[in-house]
Amino acid sequence: MAPFFLMGELFVYVIGIDGGGTKTIGVLADENGTVVAKSIVGPTNPNSVSNYHLKGEFGKLFMEFERYSEFSHVQHLYAGMSGVDHPENNKLIKGIISSYLPKQVKVTIDHDAITALYSGTLGEPGIVQISGTGSITFGMNQHGERQRVGGWGYLFSDYGSGYSIGRDALSEAFLAYDGLKDYTYLIDLLQKYYNVEALPETIKKLYQGTNPRTEIASLSRLVMDAYDHGDKVAEEIIWRNGVELGRAISALGGKLFQNVSVPVVLTGGVFNRMELFEKPILHVVDRCQQEVRLIKPRIEPIGGAIVAAWKEENRQINDAFMATFKQSLER
């Protein structure tokens, strides 16, 4: 590519993309971590939107970047995307993105779990436990080998997710309502949340919702509220789901890592209350005689995409880079 010189210095740039089923964020940054441009558009998961929609959203994203002269001197684009596991989807996304870029730009399309992992490890190997509406445990070791556990869908998987916790809340509340278990404060919270007089009145609202999966996942925060009020059922739900997360992390760790301390990045809405899940996770991991370090993301997933882009270019990321990136991203 033709390098970009200014005042005798060589300037190179990368683009990172964090694409999902709700929104897509793109950032253009230099090798010092300075964000030159940021663009936010709609969903770009190829499993949930049409090809026409994909082209339109990426077109809007790159239209913003084209306003900057630095766009002509981008060296690498790294997109962490949901829905690109299948080779056909990966090829589709790469083709659409490449059509909007200067010809010299190298393009990498990868699983969004990588960008989530790098948001905590800054390019180093490890495990990421994503627990939002759904859940997946993903890891990559020092040899570049990848494995996953879970994430197979809410109907029979996704333990430790917001959906799983919300579903358990409903299940336990109705068991208590029927007299099959002791009372739980979750009954009161659910009735208040749906503004109904009795628990069965929530059924119609749940089944007639536009997206019952997301609706049920949102109920996970009621479990946290009940826990804060000392509710034993809520405590059991959190422990049970935390144990399942620990099992997934242990299983994946055994596949990828031997005799090393493994960083485990905990990300997703469930871990807004990370302190509630640390104990059950570590309880299982310790019993399996594995050593892990539970950590929070140091940057947003879009930062993980920028880290991945520079890693593809064999550039090292340091604390100064991250400080500059976070500060300039917020401007």
Residue of 67, 94, 111 whose CA lies nearest to 308: 111
| 167 Rama class: left (phi>0) / alpha (psi -120 to 50) / beta | alpha
* Residue 240: strand, helix, or coil: helix
Token pair belonging to 187: 């009954």
Structural domains in the chain, CATH included, are 4-122+298-329 (3.30.420.40), 162-295 (3.30.420.40)
Q: Output the pLDDT for position 22.
A: 84
In sequence order, what E strands does the chain have? Answer: 4-6, 9-11, 13-19, 24-30, 35-41, 74-81, 106-111, 126-131, 135-140, 146-149, 262-267, 292-295
| 144 Rama class: left (phi>0) / alpha (psi -120 to 50) / beta | left
Q: Output the pLDDT for position 10.
A: 59
By the 10 Å C-beta count (0-12 exposed, 13-18 middle, 19+ buried), 78 is classed as: buried
With tokens 């990045």, the residue in question is 265
Token pair belonging to 266: 């905990």
Residue of 61, 89, 71, 82 whose CA lies nearest to 14: 71
Give pLDDT tens digits along the chain (331 positions).
444 444 445 578 999 999 988 899 999 999 899 999 999 999 999 988 999 999 999 999 999 999 999 999 999 999 999 889 899 999 999 999 999 999 999 999 999 999 999 999 999 999 999 999 999 999 999 999 999 999 988 899 999 999 999 999 999 999 999 999 999 999 999 999 999 999 999 999 999 888 899 999 999 999 999 999 999 999 999 999 999 999 999 999 999 999 899 999 999 999 999 999 999 999 999 999 899 999 999 999 999 999 999 999 999 888 899 999 999 998 8
Q: Output the pLDDT for position 121.
A: 96
DSSP 57-71: HHHHHHHHHTTSGGG
Instruction: Give the pTM.
Output: 0.90
> Contacts by 155-159 with C-beta closer than 8 Å and gap 24+?
158/134, 159/135, 159/241, 159/244, 159/245, 159/248
